[in-house]
């Protein structure tokens, strides 16, 4: 009996592998603000660090097993110049715009069946990710799907102003997932985890119903399916059927609510 669905975010429910749109938007905002305020030295430093960050980004794409290391370095480089000093209201407005902008990048092939098949059956749903919690929550809310939990990284606040972005969730996703299941009294055998990359391997191995996302690269898709006996759905109907089988609900003619309404 399926009791809970836990998803990775980047490369699973969301097309981008490293939330490039979110963080690049903050960098552009910081650069424009520095120029408009005449802080040309700060703008030059942002440009220089941007070049270094581009190198880390390319290395992360080339070596998926080291992605989290490179993301950590990018966060370190940009925290003092781009991610600190935002007022709470500014951040909220930015996140709202971002969530609207990325709706076309969400994977309805997974989200629709979760909303139409799993949620009406009482299956819990949440995200465990090294991405940004605020962005994830806002994007899901904009798509009309409420998560029961989102465990992800977030901004550190100093009163009403950001002090930086805390990158604390990465290689420890399995431990966080195991702790979450223990606190909620859920048997891992009754959990479906959906992921796309080597960073998800430990979580896929923990649960009884591992699934590989549609966005996963072909090599990763094949590897995770083979090594962890994960289901790699060929299309949305196959994923929906897999959900129904896991839930134990055989009545395929039962009407379901339309996702996003």
How far apart (Å, rounded) are the C-alpha atoms in residues 159 and 163? Answer: 9
Spell out the long-range contacts of 251-256 with Cβ–Cβ below 8 A and sequence spacing 24 or more: 256/116, 256/117, 256/120
Residue 231 and residue 212: Cα distance in Å, rounded? Answer: 6
pLDDT band at 1 (very low <50, low <70, confident <90, very high): confident
Q: Is the whole model's pTM more than 0.85, yes or no?
A: yes
Yes or no: say if 234 and 31 are a contact pair by the CB < 8 Å rule.
Answer: no
Say what percent of the chain tops pLDDT 90.
Answer: 89
Going 156 to 151 to 230 to 183, the CA torsion angle's sign is positive
Note the pLDDT tens digit of each residue in 217-260: 999 999 999 999 999 999 999 999 999 999 984 344 443 333 33
- Predicted local confidence at residue 259, as pLDDT: 32
Find the distance separating the first CA and the last CA of the chain, reported in whole Å. Answer: 27
Model pLDDT, residue 50: 94
Report the chain's mean pLDDT, rounded to a whole number.
92
Model pLDDT, residue 165: 97
**Average pLDDT score over residue span 94-99:** 97
Rounded Cα–Cα distance for residues 203 and 192 (Å): 10
Per-residue tokens: 24: 């690049």
So what's the pLDDT on residue 251? 42
pLDDT-derived band of residue 261, with 50, 70 and 90 as boundaries?
Answer: very low
- C-alpha 9/C-alpha 107 separation (Å) is 10
Q: Report the chain's C-alpha Rg in angstroms.
A: 19
pLDDT for the residue 65: 82
Structural domains in the chain plus CATH codes: 4-16+104-247 (3.40.50.1000), 20-101 (no CATH)
Mean pLDDT of 194-201: 92
Per-residue pLDDT tens digits for 36-81: 999 999 999 999 999 999 999 999 988 888 899 999 999 999 999 9
Helix, coil or strand: residue 131:
strand
């Amino acid at each position: 009996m399926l009791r809970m669905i836990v998803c990775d975010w980047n490369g699973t429910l969301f097309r981008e592998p490293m939330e490039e749109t979110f963080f690049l938007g903050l960098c552009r905002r910081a650069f424009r603000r520095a120029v408009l305020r005449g802080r040309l030295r700060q703008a030059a430093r942002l440009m220089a660090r941007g070049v270094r960050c581009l190198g880390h980004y390319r290395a992360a794409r080339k070596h998926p097993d080291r992605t989290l290391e490179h993301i950590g370095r990018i966060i370190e480089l940009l925290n003092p110049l781009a991610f600190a000093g935002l007022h709470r209201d500014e951040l909220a407005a930015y996140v709202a715009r971002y969530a609207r902008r990325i709706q076309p990048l969400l994977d309805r092939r997974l989200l629709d069946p979760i909303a139409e098949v799993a949620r009406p059956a009482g299956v819990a749903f949440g995200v465990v990710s090294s991405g940004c919690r605020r962005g994830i929550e806002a994007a899901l809310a904009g798509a009309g799907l409420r998560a029961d939990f989102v465990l992800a990284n977030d901004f550190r606040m100093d009163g009403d102003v950001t002090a930086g972005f805390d990158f604390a969730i990465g290689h420890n996703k399995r431990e966080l997932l195991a702790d979450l299941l223990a606190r909620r009294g859920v048997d891992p055998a009754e959990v479906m985890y959906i992921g796309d990359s080597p960073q998800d391997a430990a979580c896929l191995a923990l649960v009884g119903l591992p699934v590989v996302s549609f966005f996963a690269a072909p090599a990763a898709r094949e590897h995770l399916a083979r090594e962890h006996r994960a289901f790699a759905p060929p299309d949305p109907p196959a994923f929906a059927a897999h959900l129904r089988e896991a839930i134990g609900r055989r009545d395929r003619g039962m009407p379901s609510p339309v996702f996003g309404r």
